[in-house]
Each structure stands twice: as C-alpha cells, then as structure tokens.
Amino acid sequence: MKTTTTTTTTTTRATGAAAQQPEWSDPEALEEVRRELRSRPPLVTEEECATLAESLERVARGEAFVLQGGDCAERFREANAEETGRKVDQLHSLSGRLRAGSGAGVVAIGRMAGQYGKPRSESWESAPGGGVIPTYRGDAVNGPAAEPGARFADPTRLLRAYDCAGRVLAAVRASWEGREAAERVHVSHEALLLDYEYPLARDGATGRYASSAHSVWIGDRTRSVDGPHVAFASSVANPVGVKIGPSIGPAEAVHLSTLLNPGAIPGHLTFIVRMGSARIRRLLPELVGEVARRGTPVVWVCDPMHGNTMRMGTGVKTRPMEAILEETTAFVRILRSLREHPGGLHLEMTPQDVTECVSAPRPFSAPPPLSRYRTACDPRLNAEQACEVVERFAGML
C-alpha cells in the first residue's frame, strides 16, 4: 500500500517505507486529524506505564508471568463499560488460574483500548456481489461490512479510535479500585497506524512516551529493523513488544533486541513468539540462544495463535486447539531446556460465547456454526478454550 509522507518524518533512523499503512481517502482531513490528536490529552500517564514496567521487570527476573490477551480486532461498538468489564474479568480469572498453577505473580495486559488497526496480507478481497473491495483494516481505518461504502479508509476514524480507547480505559481504571498496583490490568495494542501513534507521543518527565497505551507491540509484518515502526518503538520509554514469526533469523532477532532495548533494561522488551506448532521446535532454540549470547535482555512470551491459522473450505479462518496447545507445550519445553524463563502467554480470546477456534481434527470440512463466529478479524479462544491453554501452560511449569 502507498505510504503517507507524514509518517516517517519524526525519526532519523528509519530509512524503509512504512508498511501496512492505509491509503487514507482524504490527505487534508488526515492532517487535520493528526493536528487534533496532538492537541488531545494523553490517554495514559507516564506513571501508569512505569508501574507496568516495574511488573515486567519481575517477569524478566523469572519471578512472574505475563498474561496478555483480548480481541484480534476490537470493535468501536464494544467500547463501553459493560463489555470492557467482561474482558477485564476474563483477564483476572485467567490470571488467577495462572497464579494458582505457577505459584508466581501474574501481570495481566489486555489487547484493548486501542487494538483498532489491523495489518492484512491482502489489500483487496472479492465482494459478495462480484468485483473487489479493500480489505477491513480495523475500526480505526474502515468498517468490516463487505460493501465498498464501508471499506474506504476514513481518517476521522482515528479520532473515534481515540474516543473509544478513552472509554475503555475509563472502565479499566474503574477495575483498579481496591486492587494492588501489581494486580491491575494494563492495556496494549499493536502500534501499526503511525498516523495515530506519532501524534499521541508525548514528552514525559523522563522522556518521550507513547500515550496511546501502557505498552505497544510491533507486528510480525512491520518489524523491519530499518522501518518506521521499529524506529517508533525505539523512540518511546514504554515497555514494548515485537511479534517474532518464522521468517526471522537469529541475527535479526539480536539486532532487534539491541535497537529496542539499547539500555538493556530487564522487562523493557518482550519478544512475542508466533512460529506455529510445526516450526517452533526447529526455529526457536537458536533464536533464544543467540539473543542470550549476543543480544540485550528480552522477556519471551508465547503467542500460540498466529502461527496456527488455517482456512476452512468456506474460506473462513480458524485455529485448531490441538496446534495451539502443542505450540504452548513446545514453547515452555524449549525455554526451560535453555534455562530461560518462559515469560507468559499472548492470546486472542473473548468472554463471548463463540466457536472460532475448533477442537476438530484436521482437515476441517464443516465451518463452525456462523452464529457463534463473530470475530471481525482472527479467530479467538472462547472462555473455556482460553482456560484450557492457560492450564496447559501452567501445568508445564
């Protein structure tokens, strides 16, 4: 996709073009939106980010685990106290299980209050009535309905994303009432849309920080070492993550660790591994070994979702529980065998009663009942399935 000229100006290191940016429909409106975002109050405070950083330092020391989870793509219409309360409850309940199973502390982080931009492998898809339409790129960009009118990239949606994130955060903060700082749910999302992230970066007392979330991560498709996403993540003080897929090599992983955690701060950088159950045993050991030898400290977290996506005959995406559980098991075994801390789990999950990931043996013939398939993007674990994955992880420790 074409990149906007405004996204790469704030950094000196990035020489590559910004991948996965929308072709915004109206460049002047985009400029207006960026101005507006710069003038708005920060969504999160520097102190809140520092609290999360302290918790993640305990993970880096091997004294706690991360449980990061939520929707693949959050929806604007779910940005209310009720839905958010359910998601926070799910994170607390899974954290409780992981705490009980591991006997260690758990740091709960939602994929929420900003998970509104999606990278896509295809820019176009076939329309139900014939012809092609742009793909859905998250509520901050366009709408999921399969019709041309919903799919143009509308920059004013970035302002709605900010408003929705604010509502979700208000509900998340309400859940902090009466809880120790270490038990609070914090929020995170993929820092994908640079026209959102750069205007929301703020100068704090200790340096520049992303005020869009307590922590952001860089996706597997945008983690190029000379790209603007990595440059953005390296310019902020928040704890940051990077998704690490099968195309990464050991040298690149080492390079990323030095770019994103130059100060070698324990807990500042998390590598979120998403290799797939078929590849993790072959690829992960060397990465972990090389980063330990030549890189800076990273927390290793397992995303057993994104390397295990498959399409059913109907074209609908699903993920077999079998592969998700197998990758989780392999992850813990590999980290343990290398005397490294298996730092936690990163899950796409929902408290809603859905069937999006399936327990059926491969290959799949029938789609899950559509009434229970509701995700706007990737298939999520339902409450019971998420429990099963957490129990498996805890049981391996």
Binding mask of the shown chain, residues 37 to 76, with x at each position contacting Mn ion by CB under 5 A: -----------------------------------x----
Binding segment for Mn ion (CB under 5 A), chosen from 59-67, 230-238, 326-334, 376-384, is: 376-384
Smallest distance, ligand PEP to C-beta of residue 190, A? 6
Label each residue of 184-207 as H, E or C.
Answer: CCEEEEECCCHHHHHHHEEEECCE
Q: Supply the minimum distance, in Å, between the C-beta of residue 102 and Mn ion.
A: 26
Answer with the entry of Mn ion, ligand PEP, none that 319 interacts with (C-beta below 5 to 8 A by kind).
Answer: none
Distance CA 261, CA 372 (A): 41
Query: DSSP 3-state assignment of 157?
Result: helix
Closest contact distance (angstroms) between CB of 397 and Mn ion is 26
Residue 119 near which of ligand PEP, Mn ion, none (CB within 5-8 Å, type-dependent): ligand PEP
Q: Pick the closer one to ligand PEP by CB: 24 or 217.
A: 217
Q: Does 197 bind Mn ion (CB under 5 A)?
A: no
- The yes or no reply on residue 112 touching Mn ion (CB under 5 A) is no
SS3 350: coil
Strands (E) across 262-353 are located at: 269-273, 299-302, 310-311, 317-318, 342-348
Measured distance CA(8)–CA(18) in Å, rounded:
7
> Could you say which of 34, 157, 184, 274 contacts ligand PEP (CB under 6 A)?
274
Cα Rg of the chain (Å, integer): 20
Among 243, 319, 341, 380, binds ligand PEP (CB under 6 A): 243
Distances (CA, A) of 116 to 59, 143, 151: 27, 11, 14
Pair 110, 172: CB distance under 8 Å? yes
- Member of 57, 154, 220, 378 binding Mn ion (CB under 5 A): 378
- Residue 79 contacts Mn ion per CB under 5 A: no
Pick 78 or 378: Cβ nearer Mn ion: 378
